[in-house]
């Protein structure tokens, strides 16, 4: 039979007690401990002055739950490197509502319901020494001097359900998450971030402070998991993160409290959209599981591009011979979409420099054919049709060279 020693307290020379757990439980050390060569299990809130030599396995929940090996950051293009749509050009948000949003960089959009006008652009103005090359800059080009109850403006990032399903929102197992980012604004004050579900029926607005104007500042915000509501966990919208730039009373709620409607701010929100030429910069955005903000996860450019192309991609079809159907005005071909997109995208053609239709047709001379989508695009391809403008194709006729560029969007 094993022997055991049970005491009420161990008192070191300093006189500070070291608490002892119940029989068979965990010993909790509340004073300095020395002379112990091995811990089989150690759970600690903080450890100061630990020498790492000899440590073979360590578990720290806030890090290991979102593994250091990768995929910690649920934000795509958080360092604002990619701007497929605009290639560094500015966009302007003039219209109201979701349908008029603009993407200054991939995966981040600016949206408003206000008399203000906001421009957005990818910029090289970044925090010094942090390893970032780009940021998103928003600027007020027309101010909203009087904020109505239903006014709002925000920079938003939408998450696919698959990418946040493991946070278990809407269940009793909902996890705490940590948001971190670098921010700079010409106007200091209290600002808000808000996390909402895709149905806009659950939201939590949280205050943070910009302390000094025109100065890059690092922010971390801990977000408690929502145990109720409907949170999508497939390829539809899982959740939405907003950096609020202005909000009327219809969109204001209690700080750091989940509510049953779409709320973007608190009553403390700085009304940034009320100041002409006000600027707001953001970069280094990361959302991860746990209560600790770990260093920004740096993915390769190729990895980040592939993640962005699931939602938006530009493809050029510069193909060879396409056989046309004799006795028909049409010939068909397919433009592959890679990587696979989130869902069948909307498709538009652009940059048809060679010919307005998007095609050049060679058959003993140049003859125009038109371009169009034959059927609804799939996640992996766009089926397209080349149609002769008049008359049917003869046997053996070909489209000797085809050229077309498309923009395919499966944005949330």
CATH code of residue 326: 2.60.40
Mean pLDDT of the chain, nearest integer: 84
Going by pLDDT thresholds of 50, 70 and 90, the confidence category of residue 20 is: very low
Residue where one domain finishes, among candidates 274, 307, 340: 307
Domain boundary among 307, 327, 356: 307
* pLDDT for the residue numbered 396: 74
Same-domain status, 240 and 331: no
Domain count, the chain: 2
239 within a domain of the structure (yes/no) = yes
Query: Are 102 and 93 spatial neighbours (Cβ–Cβ below 8 Å)?
Result: yes
Total-model pTM: 0.83
- Is residue 13 in some structural domain? no
Around 311, how many Cα atoms within 13 Å sit in the side-chain half-sphere?
Answer: 25
Q: Within this chain, do residues 131 and 195 fall inside the same structural domain, yes or no?
A: yes
- Is 90 exceeded by the pLDDT of residue 103? yes
208, 321, 386 from 196: Cα distances, Å: 17, 50, 44
End-of-domain residue from the set 281, 307, 333: 307
The reply to whether 207 falls in a domain is yes
Q: Report, as an integer, the average pLDDT of 371-390.
A: 78
Look at the alpha carbons of 51, 52, 58, 64 in this order and tell me if their dihedral is positive or negative.
positive
Share of the chain above pLDDT 70, in %: 74
pLDDT (mean) for 252-265: 97
Q: Domain check: are 371 and 246 in the same one?
A: no
Q: Given a cut of 70, is residue 364 above it in pLDDT?
A: no
Residues 241-246: what's their mean pLDDT?
98
Kindly state whether residues 321 and 291 are assigned to the same domain.
no
118, part of any domain: yes
Residue 252 lies in a domain: yes
Quote the DSSP letter at residue 224.
P
**Of 385 and 84, the one with more pLDDT:** 84
Residues 299 and 319 occupy one common structural domain: no
CA 172 to chain centre: 25
pLDDT of residue 363: 47
Please name which of 141, 161, 164 lies closest in space to residue 153, comparing C-alpha atoms. Answer: 141
C-alpha pair distances (Å), 378 with each of 18, 209, 345: 64, 44, 7
- 363 and 299 assigned to the same domain: no
Answer whether residue 398 shows pLDDT above 80.
no
pLDDT value of position 170: 97
**Parent domain of 331:** 310-409
Model confidence band, residue 348 (pLDDT cutoffs 50, 70, 90): confident
Does residue 11 belong to any structural domain of this protein? Answer: no
Local confidence band at 326 (pLDDT 50, 70, 90 cut-offs): confident
Residue 241 domain-assigned (yes or no): yes
Q: Are 237 and 158 in contact (CB under 8 A)?
A: yes
Give the pLDDT score at 120: 98
pLDDT band, residue 22 (cuts 50/70/90): very low
300 is a domain residue? yes
* CA nearest to 268, candidates 255, 259, 281: 255
Gap between the Cα atoms of 308 and 310, Å rounded: 5
pLDDT at 35: 55
User: Are residues 314 and 302 located together in one domain of the fold?
Assistant: no
- Same domain, yes or no, for 238 and 332? no
Question: Does pLDDT of 188 surpass 90?
Answer: yes
Two tokens at 408?
A: 């395919």
Residue of 80 and 368 predicted with greater confidence: 80
Same structural domain, 243 and 136: yes
Mean predicted confidence (pLDDT) in 342-361: 66
Question: CATH code at 120?
Answer: 2.60.120.260
Per-residue pLDDT tens over the stretch 289-318: 999 999 999 999 999 999 999 999 998 877
Do 235 and 328 share a domain, yes or no? no
Q: Which long-range contacts (CB under 8 A, 24 or more apart) does 66-71 make?
A: 66/288, 66/289, 66/290, 66/294, 68/294, 70/297, 70/299, 71/297
Same domain? 291 vs 364: no
Q: How many helices (H) and strands (E) does the chain have?
A: 3, 22
Please write the tens of the pLDDT for every residue from 61-98: 545 444 455 679 999 999 999 999 999 999 999 999 99
Same domain, residue pair 375 and 342: yes
Structure-block tokens of residue 410: 């499966």
- For 192-217, letters b (16+ CB in 10 Å) and e give bbbbbbbeeebbbbbbbebeeeeebb
Lowest mean pLDDT among 65-74, 158-167, 209-218: 65-74
Confidence band, pLDDT 50/70/90 cuts, at residue 404: confident
């Amino acid at each position: 039979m094993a022997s055991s020693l049970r005491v009420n307290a161990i008192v070191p020379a300093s006189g500070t007690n070291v608490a002892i757990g119940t029989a068979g439980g965990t010993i909790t050390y509340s004073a300095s401990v020395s002379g112990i060569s091995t811990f089989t299990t150690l759970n600690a809130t903080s450890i100061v002055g630990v020498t790492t030599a000899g440590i073979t396995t360590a578990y720290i929940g806030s890090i290991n739950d979102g593994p250091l090996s990768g995929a910690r950051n649920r934000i795509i293009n958080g360092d604002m490197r990619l701007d497929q749509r605009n290639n560094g050009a500015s966009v302007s948000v003039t219209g109201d509502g979701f349908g008029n949003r603009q993407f200054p960089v991939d995966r981040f959009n600016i949206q408003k319901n206000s008399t203000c006008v906001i421009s957005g652009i990818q910029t090289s103005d970044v925090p010094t020494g942090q390893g970032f090359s780009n940021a998103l800059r928003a600027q007020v080009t027309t101010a909203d001097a009087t904020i109505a109850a239903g006014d709002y403006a925000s920079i938003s990032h939408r998450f696919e359900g698959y990418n946040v399903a493991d946070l278990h929102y809407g269940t009793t197992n909902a996890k705490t998450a940590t948001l971190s980012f670098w921010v700079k604004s010409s106007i200091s004050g209290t600002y808000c971030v808000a996390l909402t579900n895709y149905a806009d029926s659950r939201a939590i607005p949280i205050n943070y402070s910009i302390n000094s104007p025109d100065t890059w500042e690092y922010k971390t915000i801990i977000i408690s998991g929502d145990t109720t509501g409907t949170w999508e966990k497939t390829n539809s919208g899982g959740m939405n993160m907003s950096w609020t730039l202005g909000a009327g009373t219809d969109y204001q709620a209690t700080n750091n409290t989940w509510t049953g409607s779409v709320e973007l701010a608190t009553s403390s929100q700085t009304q940034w959209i009320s100041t002409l030429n006000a600027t707001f910069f953001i970069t280094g955005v990361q959302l991860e599981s746990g209560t600790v903000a770990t260093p920004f996860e740096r993915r390769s450019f190729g990895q980040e591009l592939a993640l962005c192309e699931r939602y938006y991609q530009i493809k050029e079809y510069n193909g060879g011979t396409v056989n046309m159907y004799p006795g028909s005005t049409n010939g068909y071909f397919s433009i592959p979409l890679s990587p696979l997109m989130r869902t069948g995208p909307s498709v538009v053609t652009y940059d048809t420099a060679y010919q307005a239709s998007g095609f050049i047709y060679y058959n003993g001379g140049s003859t125009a054919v038109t371009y169009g989508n034959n059927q609804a695009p799939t996640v992996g391809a766009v089926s397209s049709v080349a149609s002769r403008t008049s008359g049917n194709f003869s046997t053996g006729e070909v489209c000797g060279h085809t050229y077309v560029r498309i923009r395919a969007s499966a944005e949330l």
